[in-house]
Chains A and B, each alone.
Chain A
Amino acid sequence: MISVESRDMVDRIVERWGHDPEYVTEMLQDIQDEYRCIPRESLDRVARLTGVPVGRLLHLATFYSSLSLDPRGEHRIQVCMGSSCFLAGAPELIGALERALGIEEGETTEDGRFSLQRVRCLGCCGTGPAVAVNGEVVGSVRPSEVEDLLARFQ
Chain B
Amino acid sequence: MTLEELKDLQEKARKRRQGYEKVILVCTGSACAARGSSDLEDRLEGELIKRDLSSDCLVVAGGCLGLCSEGPLLLIQPDGILYTRVAEDDLRDIISQHLQDGKPVERLMYRSGEKICPRMEDIAFFGRQQPVVLENRTFSNPESLDDYLAAGGYRALARALADMSREEVADAVAASGLRGRGGQDVPTGMKWRRCHEAAGEAGEIPFIVCNADDSDPGGFKDARIVESDPHALLEGLLIGAYAIGAREGFVYIRGEYPLALKRLGRAIEQARDRNLLGENILQTGFSFDVLVRRGAGAFVCGESSALLAALAGLPPEAHDLYVDPTERGFRGRPTVINNVETLANVPRILDRGPDWFASIGAGEVSGDSVSGSTGTRVLGVSGDAANTGLVEVPMGTRLRELVFDVAGGAAGNAGLKAVQVGGPTGAVLPESGLDIELEADALAGAGVSLGSGMVTVMDRDTCMVRYARYCTDLLLEESCGKCAPCREGLAAMSAILGRITGGAGSTEDLGLLEELGSTMSECSICGLGRRAAVPVLSTMRSFPEEYAAHIDEGRCPAGQCTELIRFEIEEGKCTGCTACAEVCPTDAISGEPGETHVIDDQACIRCGMCRDVCRFDAVEVR
B119: interface (CB < 8 Å): no
Question: Total contacts A to B, CB within 8 angstroms?
Answer: 154
> Are B296 and A138 in contact (CB-based, < 8 A)?
no
Q: Choose from B316, B462, B474 the contact partner of A87 (Cβ within 8 Å).
A: B462
> Which one of B31-39, B563-571, B596-604 is at the interface?
B31-39
Contact of B583 among A122, A135, A144 (CB under 8 A): A144
Q: Is B612 within 8 A of A92, CB to CB? A: yes
Tell me whether B298 and A63 are in contact (CB under 8 A). Answer: yes
Pick out which of these stretches binds chain B: A7-15, A108-116, A123-131: A123-131
CA distance A89 to B384 in the complex (A): 11
**Chain B's nearest CB lies how many Å from the CB of A128?**
8
Contacts of B474 in A (CB 8 A): 81, 120
Q: Given A121-B218, A123-B256, A127-B31, does the pair A25, B296 have CB atoms closer than 8 Å?
A: yes
Contact with A along B584-619 (1 / 0, CB 8 A): 010000000000000000000001110011000000
* Complex Cα gap A96–B611 (Å): 13
- In the bound assembly, the distance between CA atoms of A82 and B456 in angstroms comes to 11
Task: Assess whether B255 is in contact with A66, with CB atoms less than 8 Å apart.
Answer: yes
Q: Are A83 and B583 in contact (CB-based, < 8 A)? A: no
| 25 sample A-B contacts, Cβ–Cβ < 8 Å, listed by A number | A24-B313, A56-B314, A59-B315, A60-B315, A65-B298, A66-B297, A67-B296, A82-B220, A83-B382, A83-B424, A83-B471, A84-B218, A87-B462, A87-B467, A92-B607, A96-B607, A99-B607, A119-B297, A120-B478, A124-B30, A125-B220, A125-B380, A127-B35, A127-B68, A143-B607
Residues of B within 8 A of A28 (CB): 296
Are A83 and B218 also in contact (CB < 8 A) when A64-B296, A119-B256 are? yes
User: Known contacts being A83-B456, A87-B456, A130-B34, is A99 close to B585, with CB within 8 Å?
Assistant: yes
Contact with A along B377-393 (1 / 0, CB 8 A): 00010111000110000
A123 and B30 within 8 A (CB):
yes
Q: Is B266 an interface residue (CB 8 A)?
A: no
B400 an interface residue at 8 Å Cβ cutoff? no
What does the 1/0 interface line of B213-225 toward A look like (CB < 8 Å)?
A: 0011111100110
Partner of B613, one of A92, A95, A144: A144
Task: Decide yes or no whether A26 CB sits under 8 A from chain B.
Answer: yes
Which A residues are CB-close (under 8 A) to B608? Answer: 89, 92, 95, 143
If A25-B313, A83-B456, A143-B608 touch, whether A126 touches B388 (CB-CB below 8 Å) is yes
6 additional A-B residue pairs with CB within 8 Å, beyond A81-B217, A87-B456, A125-B218: A66-B296, A83-B470, A99-B585, A123-B259, A124-B68, A127-B68
Contact B607–A87 (Cβ < 8 Å): no
Whether, in the assembled complex, A150 has its beta carbon less than 8 Å from a beta carbon of chain B, the answer is no
Interface size on A, as a range, is 35 or more
Give the residue name and chain of the A residue nearest to B426 (CB).
A83
User: Are B34 and A137 touching (Cβ within 8 A)?
Assistant: yes
B293 at interface by CB-CB < 8 Å: yes
- The docked-state distance in angstroms from the alpha carbon of A63 to that of B316 is 8
Q: Considering the complex, which residues of chain A in the window 74-88 have a beta carbon less than 8 Å from any beta carbon of chain B? A: 81-87
Interface residues as binary, B243-258 with A (CB distance below 8 Å gives 1, 0 otherwise)? 0000000000001111
Chain A contact residues: helix, strand, loop or mixed: helix
Report B-chain residues with C-beta under 8 Å of the C-beta of A144: 583, 609, 612-613
Q: A130 to B454: give the CA distance in the assembly, Å.
A: 18
Which 5 A-B pairs rank lowest in CB-CB distance, beginning with the nearest? A126-B68, A82-B218, A120-B217, A64-B296, A84-B382
Kindly supply a per-residue 1/0 record for chain A positions 52-69, scoring 1 wherever the CB is within 8 Å of any chain B CB and 0 otherwise.
100010011001111100
Contact in complex: A95, B298 (CB < 8 Å)? no
Say if the beta carbon of A23 comes within 8 Å of chain B. Answer: yes
Nearest A residue to B583, CB-CB: A144
In the bound complex, do residue B217 and residue A125 qualify as a contact, i.e. CB atoms below 8 Å apart?
Answer: no
For A64, list chain B residues within 8 Å (CB): 295-298
Within 8 A of B (CB), among A19-58: 20-26, 28-29, 52, 56
CB pair B255–A22 under 8 Å, yes or no, is: no
Question: Chain B: which residue is nearest A29 at the CB level?
Answer: B296
| B313 contacts A121, C-beta separation under 8 Å | no
> If the complex has contacts A87-B456, A126-B69, are A139 and B297 also in contact, measured as CB distance less than 8 A?
no
B218's closest neighbor in chain A, by CB?
A82
Chain B residue at minimum C-beta to C-beta distance from A84: B382
Q: Complex Cα distance A137/B71, Å?
A: 14
